[in-house]
Amino acid sequence: MAVGARSGHDGPEDRPSNGGSPTGPTGRAPGDGASAGFGPPGPSGPSGPGGDSPDGGGTDGRDAAPKKPRSFWKELPLLIGIALILALLIKTFLVQAFSIPSDSMQNTLQRGDRVLVDKLTPWFGSEPERGEVVVFHDPGGWLEDTATPEPNAVQKFLSFIGLMPSAEEKDLIKRVIAIGGDTVECKKNGPVTVNGKALDDKSFIFEGNSACDDEPFGPIHVPEGRIWVMGDHRQNSLDSRYHQELPGQGTVSVDEVVGRAVVIAWPVNRWATLPIPSTFDQPGLNAMAGAAVPGALGVAGALPLVFWRRRRLTRDRTDG
C-alpha cells in the first residue's frame, strides 16, 4: 500500500492511543520503515518479499514481463512475402529484366546480356522515339519459326515476379529508326534516310555492315501509332525490312512496345547505358512536323483578325 493512500474500508481508521503500541522516535512503529521506504532495507532488500521493487511496481506478479523479440525464423516468411510483392510491382510498373537471345543488336548488345527496360514512362503516355532501343512483343509472324525453350516451374515463377527475364513471351529488341508520320527508305549502297535526312549510323551498327545492302527498302510512310525498327547488326537482323508482307507492312504498333531498354545490367563488366545516337538529333529530321507548326500558328493568328474585320463590316452596314 502506498504511503498516504486510503485502506479501502468505509469505517474510520484505528489510530493508536497514548497507551498503545510503542513507537520509535519518528512516531512510527518499529519495523514500519522498510515497508514505507524509510530506514534500512529489510533482509530481502528493496525488492525482496513484502517490499516494493526499485521502479515502484509491486511484487505481486502483476507486472508484465518484457516481451521477447520475435524470432528471425518467424519473421523470415513475412520478409520473403513482402520482397516478392515488391518485385512483382517493380516488374509490372517500373522496370523488367530481359535477356538478349541473338546477335541482331551487335555490337550494342551481345548475346547473353541482361538489359533493364523502363516500363514506367509508357504509363504516362510516352511513346518510342527515334534512336531508342526498345523491347516489343512479336507483332505476329516475326518469331513463328523461332523455337522457344520450355522453362521449368522455378523459371516460370521467377520470371513472373521479375527476378528472371521473361521466360515464355516472344519478345524482340531493336532500334527505332522512324516513328509515325515519318518517311523512311534505304537504297542499295546508300544510307538510311528519314524525312529526306541521311542517318550517320556508323557509330552504332556492327563494324563492317552496310546500312541496308542485304535488303534495301522504301520509301515507306510509317502510319501514326506505329514504328519502323532495325537491328544494329544489319546483315544479321530480321527486322521491319523482312516483314513488309505482314499486316502493318513491317511496322510495329506502339501498343506492342514493352518499354525502352535503358541500361545493360549484366554481366558486370558490360555495365553501360543505352543512349540515343546523336544522328537522331540532327536538325531537319523533324522537318515535316516543323513545317506544319508555323502553318498552324499562322491560321490560329489569322482567325481573330478575320472575325474582327467581319464584325466591323457588319457594324458599318448596320449604321449605313
Annotated catalytic residues are 104, 174
Is 289 strand, coil or helix?
A: helix
State which H helix or E strand residue 184 sits in: strand 183-186
Quote the cell numbers at residue 267. 554481366
- Angle, alpha carbons 195-198-200 (nearest 5°): 135
- Nearest CA to 228 out of 210, 215, 244, 213 is that of 244
Torsion, Cα 158 264 136 216, to 10 degrees, reads -150
d(CA 167, CA 148): 9
Q: Which residue has the cell 467581319?
A: 310
What does the alpha-carbon distance between residue 105 and residue 98 come to, in Å, rounded to a whole number? Answer: 14
258 vs 135: CA distance, rounded Å: 6
Angstrom distance (rounded) from CA 162 to CA 88: 6
Element (H, E) at 264: strand 257-266
Question: What b/e readout covers 163-192, taking b as 16+ CB neighbours within 10 angstroms?
Answer: ebbbbeeebbbbbbbbbbbbbbbbeeeebb
